[in-house]
Amino acid sequence: MSFPETGENRPVRPPSLTILCLLSFISAFTGLWRQADQLWSPGRASVQIQETFHTILDRMESQLPDDQSKEAALSVFESVGESLTPETLRKSAIIMLIYESLTLFGAYYMFQLQRRGYKLYMGGIAVGLLGSTLVIGGMTGIVLTFGSLFFSLLFLLLYRLHLKYMY
């Protein structure tokens, strides 16, 4: 395998990989902080999420064209909103803490140009996807983890482009 070499015969990390890893570090650390807060005080988090759901629902009602669309959106949002209990948020926080930890370690190993970091990162995403879907259940699990997992999947594709620089 050929690496860009320095005078010390050590592989060089491309700047794009450095930036990607730094963004992953920031995301993982803020995610760990957010999920730890949600784990320690799920009641407060539940109230905040309920308020956010009601705000989104109010905005959505005015933008939907017909009554049938409004009723369908209301039923989905109400079912998800009712299932956002402190216990559900606690389960979500535990799953997401595992996910954030695995992606953080994966990004660290990729920062060190080790391929096993890619596998750890991918494993973290799998834990987030499967855990949220199977443990929390269906639509609620997807809603709770969508933001984090969407960007992690995007980052995974970008990391895949940098595998050629890792050993």
One pLDDT digit (tens) per residue for the chain, 167 residues: 444 555 566 788 999 999 999 999 999 999 999 999 999 998 888 888 888 877 877 787 777 777 777 777 777 777 777 778 889 889 999 999 999 999 999 999 999 999 999 999 999 999 999 999 898 877 778 878 888 899 999 999 999 999 999 99
pLDDT score recorded for residue 84: 80
Place of tokens 């308020």: 51
CA 4, 8, 11, 12 dihedral sign is negative
- pTM comes to 0.82
Domain extent listing, the chain: 15-39+85-165
